[in-house]
Structure formats: structure tokens, C-alpha cells
Chains A and B, each alone.
Chain A
Amino acid sequence: MSFMTTSRLVGWLQDIVGNDGVVSHPTELSVYDCDGYTLEKSAPDVVVLPRSTDEVAAVLKRLQCEGVPFVPRGTGTGLSGGCLPLGAPVMVSLSRMNRILELDPANRRAVVQSGVINSWVSRAAKPHGLHYVPDPSSQMACSIGGNVAENSGGPHTLKYGVTTNHVLGVTLVLPDGEVVRLGGMTEDGPGYDLLGVTVGSEGTFGIVTEAILKLQPLPQGCKTLLAVFDSVADGSAAVSAIIAGGIVPAALEMLDHLIIQAVEDAFHFGFPRAAGAVLIAELDGLEAGLERAAGKVREVCEANGATEIRVARDDREREALWKCRKRAFGALGRLAPNFCCQDGVVPPNRLPEIMERVAAIGKAYDLRIGNVFHAGDGNIHPILLYDERDRDETERVVAAGREILRECVRLGGSLTGEHGIGVEKVALMPLIFTPDDLRTMEAVRAVFDPGDRCNPNKIFPSAEERVEVRTPRRQAAM
């Protein structure tokens, strides 16, 4: 946008949200130039921070009048470049819409604004013996709006289901500023399940300002095991055997050698440094069944070569373990200035194969790759380490990432289990969808966003024809 248009726009937006609700100074804007996917960066011209659904509606009406595209942003922890502004000069940040509006323990529901941080919900529900199940590893930082947009998962979504299984309704401000409520406090409302298709739409349908969440009783008991393996292959074999055996742990997470070392350096939990892989298996539910289920998991791990199995003695130890798991990405900062986290999925019984392929690809591209992932549902997270100042390495990261995802697809899986397509995986969509599949999705998108102004140039390969894509895009500016 030209300077003139931008300053006029700033004035209008300030009229709606107040002077302190608009950011337009270049140094302040640089905070918003990427999310957790750092291979590409681009700052918006203006960031607007509304405080209410009404303000969001007024902002979007104004943008509609001016024909200005925009991008919603939660807290920017996304890992696929979902809130990278691409042809969208205005960013709408939900960070000031951060109130829990209602907690209804008897009906096990919470109503929250979309900027509420995921972990706040469970914290508020805990005194009532309840919690909000989906627990992305970023739960201390990510917003419910971002979770809804990405249909986020987490370690404990293996047993209990991902975001879409725990959201009953949303308030959505359409790109033209109209406010609609989808779903509601009760189940089974008549009509199409527009809520279901909005969850996971990666912020392309409009701006979610409120959400009605289902709460679940805290499990009566919990048993957390740490199984140590010589190799990721052994650990993967154990995972597929556990799943095939019909045991559904609450969580089944794997950390490989590289990650174990980084995490141990950072948090000193006491992981066996030499181990090729560790598997965290958590069983929860009624006390009555736990011992037996834990025994079965132990047996399966031993049968698949576990060299040691530890059981968390108490809540403190369990929490420390989970802290390590959830902060594993952070610990990687010690190993390299940048990382790119992939999010492919394979059927669990193909885990040993894909992990082998990931290692081979790492070798072929001369990259260090760590793995810390939701093993139980076959959702791998190879983390490719790099230094963005090294142009050649950066390019190898992009190429290797794509090759890993191609392998996932070849093994019957998917490009993304929870992080979304965003900008990152747009070019790979034809690997799993036909042009007709994609056109159908775009037709549905057009119902919500006929002008293609809400988070444009994401998800669909057709976007690649519209914006010049160079990967890493950032180099264009360098």
C-alpha cells in the first residue's frame, strides 16, 4: 500500500479501536514479520488490536469498504507461516481479546474470547475438576483462536481427540464484517456443520472472536512411563505394537538422541544421554484399569527392545517430564540459530520406515535433524536445524523438508497432522488432492470469503500463481 493509503487507514482504524490499538511504526511491526515458521518473513503495514467482537466487525467493515485484504493473528506460534502477511497489508491481532467469559462446570463448557491462551482454560477449570483437553506443546503461549484455525493437536489428543472434537461453537466475523455464530452451547443444532469446516480453515473464513469449548473431567488416575531404546527404529516398532495391541494411551511421545541431549543440557531431567530414543507413554483414566494397561505397555516396550523402563514416581516428576517434552523446541536454540519443524503423518505401522527415511534424507542433504513427536498417531516432527545466514543450508532445509513430506504421502499419510498448510506446504497440496478436490475447497472458501481478502494466498496452490513465490521467500528481500 502507498504511504498515503496506509496513513488514512491508520486514522480510520484508530477511530475504531483507539490510538493504542494500532501499530504502524516499522520497528514495532518487525515483531509481526513471522510466526514460528521462520523461513519466510514479511511485516504487515499496519497491525490493529481490537478488544471486542464489535470492534472486529467495525474493522472488517472498514477494510471491506476499502477492499483491503487482512490476516488474522493469534499469538504467532504457528509453524506453517499461517499468519505471514502475503498480499495482506493489515494484520488483525486478537491478543487483547483475552477474557474467559463464562465457565459452566455443570454443563462442562467454557466460553472464551479467541485471544485467550490455551493453558488458561484448563487452569480456570481445574478447581471444578475439569480441563480443556487439547494441549499443544505451545499451550502456554498459543491462543484458542489459533488452535481453532489450525485444528491443533497435542500430546494428549491421541486418546481424546483434537481441537475439532472439543469446540461446540464459535463467533465468526465474516470478511465483510457480518457476525455469525456457528454451533452453540447445545449439541446437534439443525443445519450444516459450518463449525466443523471452520475449525481447521487456517484463518481463511473470517475472524473467530469467541469460542465455546467442551471441558472434560480430570482423569482419576495417571501413570507415566519412560521407555528407553537404543534406536528410533526400536522405539517406533514399540509404538506401532502398542497401537496395534488396542491400548490407547493418553499420550505416546518420542524423543530421539539429538533431542534427548538438547533437552538434558537445558533442563537436567536425568534422561539417559546415550539413549537412541525415549518414549513417553502416559496412561490415564480410572485407577482400576491403569496398573494393567501400564503393565501391557511395559511388556510391549520390552518385547521391542526397551533397555530400561522408568515410571514417574509422583506428580512432580511427571510434570517435570512433560515440561521437558513441551519445551523441547526451545532447547534446540542451543544447537542451531534456526529450525524448521515438519509435521508429516504416516499410518503408525509405517513409523519405523519413515524414521529411517528421515535419517537418510538428513544424511543426503547434510543436515542435522532431531525428532520429537506425537508417535501414537503417526504424526512425526522432524526438526531440521539450520543457520539462516547460510544460504545453501537454508535451501537444503526446504528441499529436505519437502522430500520428507513426499515420503509420508508415499506411505499413505498426509502433509500435516496439526500445523496446517499455511504458506509452507502450498506447493505440495497436489500430492494428496486433485484439482477437483482443491476447487471444491476453494468453492467453500468463497462462501465465507468471496473477495479472497481474508488471509489470502495460503493453503491452495492457485495462490502460487498469484504471488511470486521464491523459497525461501525471504531471500527476495535480502
Chain B
Amino acid sequence: MSRASLVESTPDWDGFDDDLRLFEVAAGTSTDCVRFTIDGVPPERVLLPNSAEQVCRILQIATARGVALVPAGFGAHLGLGAPPGRPYAVLSLASIDALLDHQPANMTVTTQAGMSVAELQAAVAGSGQWLPVEPPLPAATSVGGLISADLSGPSRFSQGTVRDLLVGITVARADGTLVKSGGRVVKNVAGYDLAKLYCGALGTLGVIVEATFKLRALPAAVAVARVACSDMAVARELLERIRTAPVEPHLIELLTPIPSAGGDCVIVVAFRGSREEVAKQQETLRALAHGKTMEERVGDAAAAALAELRDANVRGEAFLKLKASLLPTELPPFVSALEDASGEHGLTMAVQAHAGNGIVRVRVHHPNVEDTGGSARALVEQLRAAAAALGGTLVVEQVAPDLKPGLDVWGGGIEALPLMRRIKEALDPGGVLSPGRFVGGI
């Protein structure tokens, strides 16, 4: 029997508690246990360390006592990924939340992982700067969670994702050593870019305690336009025209209900930049959308519309939420596949796509709650096959807790999985961190 599986079979919770007391690690309340429940299974403990040193201690203790740890921020995005494979404690970074070093002149910021994205934005906004990534629910999203869950929003079309902005990271390894890669300057190729490994790793490789990002200047003006299209063909044509027009949109989203009743397909385009730039692009868009109904907002109203758009998928009710990654040109055929599936299964859906990136989010509604289990499995398989046939992938982002164990959240056929397993083995040989949450059961 390997050491790891021996440890797995006998977590020593009492010993764990004793050790933690020794190091004065704050424990969460029962409310915290509810808040950090993952797919219906509450954690055995919630730990709220107040320093990177405490995080390292906890990792050492957990390893010694055979306890599994799930690193977390505030718990807003714990529905992503597969449920933990065994009983676990949550290690929340919420109390490690200091802004360490904002250098406005160099457009960088270094922060502890427990700071919320909203607070970070507020802190740098004073200098006319922002971290150009817009995860849903920024006030409930920690910087560590932003990185671990690789959260992004519609603006990724023009701004990229967190991997493009992260220039340095400090992580507590599973064995409790604190290690860093990168640095605090925007351009740096010294050593491997390990920061990338932690982006989207869902806490399976280490506990992020600190991160440095590049910032950008906050644009002076913003405008949002919603253009109604009679059907997908029309929407597709408009997208094509926008693609080749002299505009640099901040984001391009495609929204449609499924089945579509006609006329309910919407393209949202936003512009940010100097006043001249925004005004000129609005004008260009009006010409492109000539003959279609177009609703425009500027200033605060535009900002509010963008926030709504950013959060829509997370806030929207659904029994199943999916994310497909496709080539941008494969969006219309994928929407057709969704139409087919909706007909077959008698379901309705809401689609929100980052059209320029080929990322499609689907919220599935079910009229008959009794029968959801079978439908969910069949539907995920069917749509995953449809995405694969178009050269893409599909993951389950959220589903009712009782259905989760029956679903393949990540999908199979990941070519580099053996390498990924070896990465996990190299950085967390004991399988302490978020066991079972990631691809291939990692």
C-alpha cells in the first residue's frame, strides 16, 4: 500500500485539531461550514489563518495528520470542479488580505490572496488604474480564487485573462514550503513561469498567498450597445462585419434564448477608451447595425449594464450550467446543436457567449425537476460530443449537488493528462490539496 493511500484511509482529525491549537490558527464557525460547503458536502473544519506562515504550518500539519485541504477565498466559486474525493477541511485565505505594494508609476500591484477583487480595484482606481479582468461577483471573489478558478468575464476579448496579467506569485507548497516565481516587474523571463501552472488549477497544486499583477490605465469613457438580431444567421453576419470593421471593441457578447422565438438574439458590444475613440466607434457600429434595433448606454448606465452582463451567468437560475470552448467561427453550429438538444429533451436554455473568444456559457432550465438526473447526464454527453465534433471542449460549471457525482465535470480525452498527473505528483505527492477536484480525478 502506498503511503498516500494509507494516509487517506486514516485522517487523524483530533491530532489535527490539537496541532492547530498549538499554532493558534483561527477556526471558522458552523456558519462558515455552511458557506464553504462543496456540492452538498460540508467541510469538517474551516480554518482562517492570518499569515503565510500559518498557511505553511497548516499544510505541514495536514500532511502529517492525513487531512485533505481545500484552499478557498470566500467560497463564492466552490461549485466549479468535481467534489472533493474525501472528507476535507477548508483553508480560507480571507484573513490574509493586505494590499502589499501598489506602484502606480510602474503599473503593478502586489496583494495577498485573500483580498477581494472589488477591494483591489477600488484601491488602484484612486490612481486611475484597474486590473483589467472582470470575474463575476468581484466583491465575493478573492484574488486567490480569481487565479485558481481562472475566472474571467466578457472583457477578456480585449484584455486577456488572469494568466496574461499575473507577473509573479508566491505559493505555499503542499509540504509547507513557501516558494515564488516571477517577480514584481512586468517583463521578466528569469526561471520558469510557474505562475501559469496555478491559473485554473483549482487549488490542487499549492496555496496561493500572494500575487503581483500588471495594471492598466482606467479608460475615460465607456459605451455599451445592444443590437437585436432576428436570428442567428443575422447575428453571425453582424459579428463578421464587426470583426473586419475599424473598431476595437472592449467586448463582444452574443445572447440568445433556446429555443429562439426569433428576434430575441442579441449582440452586445462595448467600447472603452478616450471620449473620441468611443464616440467614433459608436458611430461605426450604428452604421454596421443599420436597420436593426439598437439600444445604447454611456457613462454610469453603461457601467451598470456591463456589471449585469458580467454577473448574468453566475446569478442566473439554472439546474445545469455549462461552458464550451470553441473556435469563434464554430459558434453558430454549436448553437444549432443546442437547439436540437433542447427539442429532444424538452428543455429551455439561455446562452451567453464571449463571441470573439469562442467561449459559450449555457444555462439549462428543466421543466420537470423529477427527471433531471438522467437528462443532465445525457445532455452533457450529447453537448460534449457536439463541441468535440467542432474541435472544442465542454465542462460542467455548476449543477445541483445531488447530480454532481453522476456527472463527468471535465470530460475525458485530455491528451496531456499523464503529464498533468506527474505535475501533481511533483508538487503535491501526498494528495493533500483539493483531492479529486480536478481533471482525471487529480
A is bound by B: yes
A residues at B contact (CB < 8 Å): 104, 106-107, 109, 129, 150-151, 153, 157, 161-162, 164-165, 180-182, 185-197, 199-201, 217, 220, 240, 243-244, 246-248, 285-289, 292-293, 345-349, 374, 377-379, 412-421, 425, 429, 432-434, 436-438, 440-441, 443-448, 459
Q: Is the CB of B191 within 8 A of A421?
A: yes
Q: Is the CB of B187 within 8 A of A162?
A: yes
Q: How far is the CA of A187 from the CA of B240 in the complex (A)?
A: 20
Q: How far is the CA of A421 from the CA of B247 in the complex (A)?
A: 40
Pick from B150, B240, B244, B410 the residue with the most CB of A within 10 Å. Answer: B244
Q: Which chain B residues (389-424) contact chain A, with CB distance < 8 Å?
A: 391-393, 395, 410-411, 414-417, 419-420, 422-423
With known contacts A165-B164, A194-B416, A444–B329 Cβ distance under 8 A: no
Q: How far is the CA of A89 from the CA of B318 in the complex (A)?
A: 60
Q: How far is the CB of A418 from chain B (nearest CB, A)?
A: 6
B residues at A contact (CB < 8 Å): 103-108, 128-129, 150, 160-161, 163-164, 173, 177-181, 183-197, 199-201, 205, 216-218, 240, 243-244, 246-248, 273-274, 276-277, 279-281, 323, 325-329, 357-359, 391-393, 395, 410-411, 414-417, 419-420, 422-423, 425-427, 438-439
Q: How far is the CA of A377 from the CA of B214 in the complex (A)?
A: 11
Q: Is the CB of A447 within 8 A of B163?
A: no
Q: Is the CB of A289 within 8 A of B276?
A: yes
Q: Is the CB of A106 within 8 A of B128?
A: no
Q: Is the CB of A150 within 8 A of B277?
A: no
Q: Is the CB of A438 within 8 A of B191?
A: yes
With known contacts A349-B105, A414-B183, A196–B197 Cβ distance under 8 A: yes
Q: Is the CB of A190 within 8 A of B439?
A: yes
Write out the residue numbers on chain A whose beta carbons fall within 8 Å of the beta carbon of B357. 187
With known contacts A437-B179, A441-B192, A447–B103 Cβ distance under 8 A: no
Choose from A186, A193, A432 the contact partner of B190 (Cβ within 8 Å): A432
Choose from A107, A190, A287 the contact partner of B411 (Cβ within 8 Å): A190
Write out the residue numbers on chain B whose beta carbons fall within 8 Å of the beta carbon of A244. 104-106
Q: Is the CB of B103 within 8 A of A349?
A: yes
With known contacts A192-B423, A445-B192, A243–B105 Cβ distance under 8 A: yes
Q: Which 6 A-B pairs have the closest CB atoms?
A: A196-B196, A246-B217, A288-B280, A244-B105, A347-B106, A289-B277
Q: How far is the CB of A237 from chain B (nearest CB, A)?
A: 11
Pick from A182, A240, A420, A437 the residue with the most CB of B within 10 Å. Answer: A437
Q: Is the CB of B186 within 8 A of A378?
A: yes
The chain B residue with its CB closest to the CB of A428 is: B190
Q: Is the CB of A194 within 8 A of B276?
A: no
Q: What are 30 A-to-B residue pairs whose CB atoms are below 8 Å? A: A104-B327, A106-B240, A106-B329, A107-B329, A157-B187, A164-B196, A186-B326, A186-B391, A186-B393, A189-B414, A190-B439, A191-B417, A192-B197, A192-B416, A196-B195, A197-B193, A197-B196, A243-B105, A246-B128, A288-B274, A288-B281, A289-B277, A292-B274, A349-B105, A378-B106, A414-B187, A429-B190, A429-B191, A441-B181, A441-B191
Write out the residue numbers on chain B whose beta carbons fall within 8 Å of the beta carbon of A420. 189
Q: How far is the CB of A477 from chain B (nearest CB, A)?
A: 29
In the complex, besides A157-B187, A286-B247, A421-B190, 9 extra interface pairs with C-beta distance below 8 angstroms are A186-B393, A187-B358, A194-B419, A197-B196, A246-B217, A286-B277, A413-B185, A434-B180, A438-B191
Q: How far is the CB of A263 from chain B (nearest CB, A)?
A: 23
With known contacts A106-B329, A186-B392, A193-B163, A348–B106 Cβ distance under 8 A: yes
Pick from A414, A415, A420 the residue with the most CB of B within 10 Å. Answer: A414
Q: Is the CB of B188 within 8 A of A417?
A: yes
Q: How far is the CB of A105 from chain B (nearest CB, A)?
A: 9
Q: How far is the CA of A438 from the CA of B410 in the complex (A)?
A: 32
Write out the residue numbers on chain A whose beta carbons fall within 8 Å of the beta carbon of B189. 150-151, 200, 416-421
Q: How far is the CB of A37 from chain B (nearest CB, A)?
A: 15
| Total number of residue pairs linking A and B with CB closer than 8 Å | 236
Q: How far is the CA of A345 from the CA of B188 in the complex (A)?
A: 7
Write out the residue numbers on chain B whose beta carbons fall within 8 Å of the beta carbon of A104. 327
With known contacts A248-B217, A348-B106, A181–B191 Cβ distance under 8 A: no
Q: How far is the CB of B433 from chain A (nearest CB, A)?
A: 13
Write out the residue numbers on chain A whose beta carbons fall within 8 Å of the beta carbon of B164. 161, 165
Q: Is the CB of A106 within 8 A of B328?
A: yes
Q: How far is the CA of A88 from the CA of B188 in the complex (A)?
A: 27
Q: How far is the CB of B334 from chain A (nearest CB, A)?
A: 11
With known contacts A191-B414, A191-B420, A240–B280 Cβ distance under 8 A: no
Q: Is the CB of B200 within 8 A of A193?
A: yes
Choose from B161, B194, B280 the contact partner of A286 (Cβ within 8 Å): B280
Choose from B179, B200, B326 the contact partner of A436 (Cβ within 8 Å): B179
Q: Is the CB of A444 within 8 A of B280?
A: no
Q: How far is the CA of A195 from the CA of B197 in the complex (A)?
A: 9
Q: Is the CB of A189 within 8 A of B106?
A: no
Q: How far is the CB of B102 from chain A (nearest CB, A)?
A: 12
Pick from B108, B274, B419 the residue with the most CB of A within 10 Å. Answer: B419
With known contacts A200-B193, A378-B106, A444-B423, A347–B179 Cβ distance under 8 A: no
Choose from A161, A181, A286, A437 the contact partner of B181 (Cβ within 8 Å): A437
Choose from B195, B205, B274 the contact partner of A289 (Cβ within 8 Å): B274
Pick from B185, B194, B243, B426 the residue with the most CB of A within 10 Å. Answer: B185
Q: How far is the CA of A109 from the CA of B330 in the complex (A)?
A: 14
The chain B residue with its CB closest to the CB of A415 is: B190
The chain A residue with its CB closest to the CB of B195 is: A196
Q: Is the CB of B187 within 8 A of A191?
A: no
Q: How far is the CA of A215 from the CA of B226 in the complex (A)?
A: 27
